A and B are shown apart, each in its own frame.
Chain A
């Protein structure tokens, strides 16, 4: 082998920088630097000198965090010995995050209930959260000086704490802070321009530029917007919806079908269940061609006609985007979107108005079937529960009392621009239109029999609402689904019976647990809970009522699947 010369390639490679070595050095340096930074940061964190109460939620809507922080600040002034921090987590990640925290025993002291099965289903709730029935019958001290000062905590909320009650567990596990309702938002400026333009073309009836009082007036406004779009801006749609059209259909159901529902109430208990509706259908008392029922679908279809072609393809964000960008006259959404929509609309230079979906007025199509206004109910939302793993359960409970007191609930919801839930707490101007109208009819007859039938039928109904199918075609599909011997109405009834039996087994376990506790430690059991579970057990009678009703009403024994 010859002596290497300066031109020998091996000599060149030895003098060249070795990429692998550089990579390893780079990796070691990066690792060392991050290690140093991590250690430094860890050491620099001040150890808390006082207990910290942690509150987790997923409400990242405009204003909510500020509202919660304002309540926290007020609370800290009263309790300087305690630190309170909120932990907002995005809605998409809340489920995974809270599951991990709950299972590993590191859950925040107060958690917003929902999103995850561990927070919404009974078995998760009972395992990880504190039952509150023992506390809610006591007085809320933070209502002192008001007319609620002697009222039990439970009675101080508009929904009687129904929002935190779990039927399956017969106990309260959450304290609600607000309630929700859905309304139509409208772009005042766009509507005014459209109405002016439309009325100038000389139609009859003329459109009005304020909140409509009847369904017909609303539809005329939509016509005005369509005419305006055709002449001035093709991007403008009369109506966009964040949540499709089925919520609007539900709004019409009591107004049209309350009387019919009472006629179908076979057991005369004041409630027409899906099963009673099914029996009425099978006996031929009602059908999709029944005028009141058809009127619900036809009226909703008219709303669908005002929306974008194939509106089911439009998601919530797109609907909001189009509304706040002045491309839609009306937006169908809930109270939780009010502040964000209002802020964005103002930034685009227009004002919004809010009103409930109106029923057809006298002389308007299908108005002859209207039996009265639909009443609304208050259902608490934004519920917070206390994790069993919390080391500050008493303080957490106290904070929930504080946030649900009249003054703080009013303040909290005024900043968040959500409707307050505590009795006497005044809603903000923006929230006033969301106040539920409790007067009116609640009975309804909806042709939905069980999840499977409803899901399949709704997929067909959507075609009708979107104008892609005729009513007759939908009616045929519906008949096929409901009469399916394997997965139709009879099966749905059996499925409810089966679920009822499972619920009964769970109730038996609650009773057994209560009795065991009583045996081990007399007097320690929750008597009220025991009585509730026992009552449920007796009244539901292992689903035998379903069996009996099926045989009695359908005329043959329930097929067991």
Chain B
């Protein structure tokens, strides 16, 4: 669209403002400063007037409550109008120094976050598959099929999944029993418990314990230091292309992977069998050791509707010439995914990653409905959001819950900044 038809043109650098009419420019250059200002004022009044309803609504319904939370985090507040007392940073100090349960709840979040990052892949693969469909008609049909589940209310979906996990009449146990996998799980249960109780298991679990921290965690720490050292080197603009750096990264990754595998083999499983599979009715949501695997399995095959649509939008922006060039270079299907499609939808991946992280860290409704306010047997389903809810609505410590919310906010903000920094779109 030309400027002649719109009547609006972009101001030159150092001009009076980002948008102005040609007439206004003309008057301003002739020294009619007052009239020019008046013209600008009129324009901006109209623009701000049009924006005002949205801004006011945003301030009233989004920012005001958020600032309310900041304010109340500095008070001891029992949720009533009268019960408000100024305590300064006492709530924060308590959270950092005297509330180990809150920080323990992050363990589950970290596990879920790692699992959710893995669970992003089916959506990416589904989007790529859809994008590569040659028939536009089928592409359309599949897109519609992906959107249809969005109309199912979340609570209904939750109840369906809950019944799926039911110990007595759930589809999961029925499938496992019918397929014979239940017997395999039973054998796994006994053999893993035996491994965990064996000398090897004890050595891995209790070996190299320094200040109560197991050697496995030191392995993870060392691995992380090695992996991130390369990231920092890159951050400071130093050359990291040598083979030595590749070896450092690989060693770090192997250390982490080995710690995870050893941990899964010997630390996660208790030293005595769960005996949940013996009668073919494991209580997936009723046993403390099965809760986390069940929550991770939740939503299988993890093809999220919104995720697929977002990735698809990104994929559709990739121009045909990129594919043509790849084809001429003889790039195969898998390489096309990792060399072209994935790098070019990193913006969408980052958005989903941010949403996913926010959702994982702040979500509590799911756990509340599923396991109750104390996180189920052994408190295994206690996440920070649920802990915050418990502090507010069970203990009536609303001020303290606001402080916990602020801490969560800062953690989320930090992670988002990290994503912005490191998950870059390199086109």
Contacts and interface: CB of A to CB of B under 8 A. Distances in A.
Interface in B90-133: 94, 97-101
A327 B166 CA distance: 14
Given A315-B162, A455-B374, A486 B286 contact: no
**Shortest 6 CB-CB distances between A and B: which pairs?**
A310-B283, A310-B286, A313-B286, A313-B285, A486-B98, A459-B379
Interface in B386-426: 390, 394-396
B80 A309 contact: no
Interface stretch (A203-211, A378-386, A401-409, A498-506): A498-506
A469 B283 CA distance: 15
A237 to B, nearest CB: 7
Contacts of B373: 455
8 contacts: A310-B284, A310-B286, A310-B287, A314-B166, A314-B286, A315-B162, A463-B378, A498-B76
Nearest to A462: B377
Contacts of B82: 123, 502, 505-506, 509
Contact of B276 (A309, A315, A505): A309
Contact of B379 (A123, A456, A506): A456
A311 B100 CA distance: 29
Given A308-B167, A463-B377, A122 B80 contact: yes
Contacts of B390: 455
B378 A462 contact: yes
A263 interface: no
B176 to A, nearest CB: 14
A322 interface: yes
B285 A123 contact: no
B276 A310 contact: yes
B374 A312 contact: no
B81 interface: yes
Interface string A461-480: 01100101100000000000
A368 interface: no
A235 interface: yes
Contact of B287 (A315, A458, A466, A487): A466
B376 interface: yes
Contacts of A122: 80
A312 B286 contact: yes
A166 to B, nearest CB: 13
Interface string B159-197: 000110111110000000000000000000000000000
B363 interface: no
Given A309-B283, A313-B283, A313-B286, A451 B166 contact: no
A561 interface: yes
Interface size class of B (residues with CB under 8 A): 35 or more
Interface residues on A, range: 35 or more
Interface in A141-162: none
B378 A486 contact: no
Contact of A451 (B165, B169, B282, B394): B394
Contacts of B281: 308-309
Interface of A: 117, 121-123, 235, 237, 308-315, 318, 322, 327, 451-452, 455-456, 458-460, 462-463, 466, 468-469, 486-487, 495, 498-499, 502, 505-506, 509, 561
Contact of A308 (B165, B168, B372): B168
A109 to B, nearest CB: 25
Nearest to B287: A310
A123 B165 CA distance: 42
A463 B165 CA distance: 19
Nearest to A495: B395
Contacts of A312: 283, 285-286, 372, 376-377
A458 B94 contact: no
Contacts of A506: 80, 82-83
A554 B79 CA distance: 31
Contacts of B98: 486-487, 561
B380 to A, nearest CB: 8
Interface in B26-70: none
A505 B76 CA distance: 14
A121 B79 contact: yes
Contacts of A487: 98-101
B78 interface: yes
A91 B222 CA distance: 53
Contact of B83 (A466, A469, A502): A502
B305 interface: no
Contacts of B282: 309-310
A311 B281 CA distance: 11
A459 B99 contact: no
Nearest to A315: B162
Given A313-B284, A451-B394, A463-B378, 12 more contacts: A235-B169, A309-B279, A309-B287, A310-B167, A310-B284, A314-B166, A460-B379, A462-B377, A466-B283, A468-B274, A468-B289, A486-B100
Given A123-B82, A308-B281, A310-B276, A468 B167 contact: no
A379 B279 CA distance: 42
Contacts of A235: 168-169
Contact of A505 (B83, B100, B167, B290): B83
Interface in B281-306: 281-290
B167 A309 contact: yes
Nearest to B294: A313
A103 B301 CA distance: 44
B201 interface: no
A117 B374 CA distance: 21
B384 interface: no
> Counting chain B CB atoms within 10 Å of each CB, which of A495, A502, A505 scores highest?
A502
Contacts of B289: 468
A450 to B, nearest CB: 8
A452 B279 CA distance: 35
Contacts of A499: 78, 396
Given A313-B285, A468-B287, A322 B276 contact: no
A433 to B, nearest CB: 27
Contacts of A121: 79-80
A358 B259 CA distance: 52
B375 interface: yes
Contacts of B376: 312, 459, 462
Among B276, B375, B377, max chain A CB count under 10 A is at B377
